Structure 1
Amino acid sequence: MVTLTPTQEKYLPYVLAVALFMQILDATILNTSLPQMAQALGESPLKMQWAVISYALTLAIFIPISGFLADKYGTRRVFLSAVIIFCVGSLLCAASPTLDFLIGSRIVQGIGGAMMTPVARLILVKSYPRNKLLTVMNFAVIPALVAPLVGPVLGGYIVQYASWHWIFLINIPMGVAGFIMGKKLVPALFEDTKRLDWTGFVLFAAAACGFTLAVEFGSQTGRGVYGLLLGLGASLLIGAYIWHAKRRAAPLFPLSLFDIRTFRIGITGNLFTRLGISAVPFLLPLLLQVVFEYSPSQAGWLLAPIAVGAIGIKPWVSKIIQRFSYRKVLVYNTLFMGSLIIVLAQFNDASQWLWFIPILTIMGACNSMQFSAMNTITIGDLQGTQTSSGNSLMAVNQQLAISFGIAFGAAVLNLLRERLQMDTLVAFQTTYWILGILTILSGLYFLRLKPEDGRGLY
């Protein structure tokens, strides 16, 4: 355990707080800004999904190597480099003249984000004794609760009264503050490292990109064959990774993790459940602005209840799970969330906005409970070195689910509009029906849990 100075011990959690706030704000501020960004870049608002997908996919690909880089080159150097890369990416995003340039800039941002938050979290884990860690972490993650509430509203006002460039430029002062704090407070921690599984990393990264692109191309007129070939290629790459991991002593993600039943169920259920859920925060602002013609700030305020519900349910999650078990909570909560997504398909008039508030508040609460339960049951039975690799794979899985979910939701919407020539509102409604049914079906997977699974993890 590293010895911290009194100043470091008191203020080091602020470093993770700033890093978390920057990353989550950047992820949530964009959704309400997409229609105005599309107009400025000469694109359709319904074609802007890759501005979001590229960032989430980059996080998923580079998170696994963040710990290795921190151990080899030192936590201080890697964290400060990550902040610089994130800020450079933000400047490039603000200067983007085209959608393709913006996507490339979001990838740069994602590389910085993939190292910034995980390394900041690692610094706290290595710097504080276990009896202080929960208190420190609870303080540091407060911005993770606040940023989703602030992001959509702030993004809406920025694009309405300033310009979309500022949703990226506001990262710069926060980045400067984070860099100064990091330079003064972050200790330089090193660990002995084994050689990174670069072959496994390349196979995994290529497969993740292949599956995401397969969904995108599969929805485009005349490119279905490319989508099919990409899907097959990505499947072969997953097979190649499994073959490789069985023969390597220390693979990127050990296959032995999947011998643990609760991890296997949790990670798979996590992926499929989030496919439907992840598309909603992307599609809803588009529905409100493109179809119902809400202003960006109005759309931002209507998304705020999701964060309010997520924060409000937090004190009750443990008690609810303890009362009903992980199995019942995950099965019934997933079914309920799927039903709420289908309820969103019933809106057909801008004047019905008042009904959005209770529905989205309940949806936010259900999301929060779902993610807490899934994450806990996934890693609850891991032991020793499995904990680190399992936690890393779970974080990667979450980002992949976001990128797959947005890609799938956008693909279905564009397929209905372009190939089936549906009216835009009807296409949105049908997409919500499909996402809701998919979420309901994914909830049945949690029936594989036993009633006693997770007992003692409250």
Structure 2
Amino acid sequence: VPSYRIGILGNLFSRIGSSAMPLLIPLLLQVGMGMSPMNAGLLMIPVAAAGMVSKRYAVKLVERFGYRRVLMVNTVLVGVAMASFIFMTPGQPLWIRIVQLALFGAVNSLQFTVMNTVTLRDLDRDFASAGNSLLSMVMMLATGFGAAAAGSLLAAFNHLDASHGATAALHATFVCVGAITLTSTVIFWQLPDTRPSPRDVEEVAE
């Protein structure tokens, strides 16, 4: 099933980058911004809150623009949002920091929702259970790969240029994980440029 193959591959590459963020963002807030662990944890609330809100618009966006356009545009937004954390500074106003985190949470959550629905949409009922199991396994693998990639990149950049400190290594890592996420646009480009019926989208999303 083409949509399933594309969805699985897209999930893998996109989630590798996204799975690095729960490690990188708190590190940046504590090491780069000098925040306490508690305050850094509190600043993750906008990420989760914006993610819950954006999920409600996934079906409407897919109905209007189709899976291909939504995933290609949103994947670029996710990659740019990841790389944008290099501009976060200790002197930055708190409200800008909150907006930046919320925007990342919104596009990241939307990405997960639409990727999952496009992966499972064309599977027959006989293969739905097995297909969902494989998707879950890929998601767990990507989570592990993402954390490992983030740690490896941080160590490598810190070793290559230790004179600039951990913040510079974090910035370089954000750019790299954003670039990894952007590679999935090539995968999603293979989707047909069609708009599914509202009923089909709602059934898969549920």
TM-score above 0.5: yes
Which residue in 2 is equivalent to 1:412?
153
Instruction: Please name the residue that 2:52 is paired with.
Output: 311
1:283-341 superposed Cα distances (whole Å, 9 cap, x missing partner):
11111112322112210111110111011122221111111101100000000110111
Assess if the C-alpha contact under 8 Å between 1:302 and 1:357 holds in 2: yes
For residue 289 of structure 1, what is the amino acid of its counterpart? Q
Aligned residues of 2:62 and 2:201 also touching (Cα < 8 A)? no
Structure 1 residue 453: deviation in Å?
6.7
Which segments of 5 or more consecutive residues in structure 2 lack a partner in the other structure? none
After TM superposition, what 4+ stretches of structure 1 lie above 6 angstroms from structure 2? none
Q: TM-score under structure 1 normalisation?
A: 0.42
Q: What residue number does 1:378 align with? A: 119
Please say if 1:436 is aligned against 2:178.
Answer: yes
Shift in CA distance, 307/387, structure 1 to aligned 2, threshold 3 Å? same
Spell out, residue by residue over 1:333-371, the C-alpha distance to the aligned partner (whole angstroms, 9 max, x if none): 000110111111112325444322111111111122111
Whole-angstrom CA distance in 1 between matches of 2:23 and 2:181: 16
- Deviation track 1:150-183 (CA, whole Å, cap 9, x = no partner) reads xxxxxxxxxxxxxxxxxxxxxxxxxxxxxxxxxx
1:40-59 matched pairs, under 5 angstroms: none
User: Offset at 1:420?
Assistant: 3.5
2:65 and 2:195 in contact (8 A); partners too: no
Query: AA paired with 2:114?
Result: A
- Residue aligned with 1:449, SS: coil
TM-score, normalization: structure 2? Answer: 0.91
For 2:201, what is the secondary structure of its paired residue? coil
Whether the 8 Å CA contact 2:153–2:173 is kept in 1: the answer is yes
Q: 1:377 touches 1:454 (CA, 8 Å); kept in 2?
A: no
Larger-gyration structure (1/2): 1
- For 2:147, the aligned partner's letter is I
User: In structure 1, which of residues 441, 450, 457 is the aligned counterpart of residue 192 of structure 2?
Assistant: 450
Per the alignment, residue 95 of structure 2 pairs with 354
Aligned mates of 2:185, 2:17 — CA distance in 1: 11
Query: How many Å separate the matches in 2 of 1:404 and 1:339?
Result: 20
Contact 1:413/1:431 (8 A) holds in 2: yes
- AA aligned to 1:321 is V
Question: C-alpha distance in 1, partners of 2:131/2:106?
Answer: 26
- Partners of 1:452 and 1:314 in 2: CA distance: 21
Matches within 5 A, 1:71-110: none
Higher relative contact order (CA 8 A, sep 6+): 2
Cα pair 2:63 2:196 within 8 Å, conserved: no
Q: Percent identity?
A: 35
Check if 1:425 corresponds to 2:171.
Answer: no
Equivalent positions of 1:223-238 (< 5 A) are none
Amino acid at match of 2:10: G
Q: Distance in 2 between matches of 1:281 and 1:453?
A: 33
Per the alignment, residue 29 of structure 1 pairs with: none
Distance 2:57 2:98 in 1: 21
User: 1:457, CA displacement in angstroms?
Assistant: 2.4
**Partner of residue 274, structure 1:** 15
- Matched-pair contact (CA < 8 Å) for 2:82–2:177: yes
Residue in 2 that maps onto 1:298: 39
- Helix, strand or coil: the match of 2:35? coil
Asked if structure 2 preserves the Cα contact closer than 8 Å seen for 1:262 and 1:453, the reply is no
Aligned pair count reads: 199
Could you tell me which of 141, 147, 150 is aligned with 1:400? 141
SS at 1:265 equivalent: helix
Quote the RMSD (CA, aligned, Å). 1.5
Q: Which amino acid aligns with 1:370?
A: Q
2:4 equivalent to 1:263? yes
Alignment check: 8 A CA contact 2:64 2:195 kept: no
CA distance in 2, matches of 1:319, 1:457: 9
Whether the 8 Å CA contact 2:83–2:178 is kept in 1: the answer is: yes
- Equivalent residues of 1:348, 1:425 under 8 A apart: no
Mapping of residues 112-261 of structure 1, within 5 Å: 260-261=1-2
CA contact (8 A) 2:76 2:185 kept: yes
CA distance in 1, matches of 2:148, 2:77: 23
Residue in 2 that maps onto 1:140: none
CA contact (8 A) 1:380 1:454 kept: no
The 2-side partners of 1:298 and 1:411 are apart by 26
* Counterpart-to-counterpart distance in 2, 1:440 and 1:274: 11
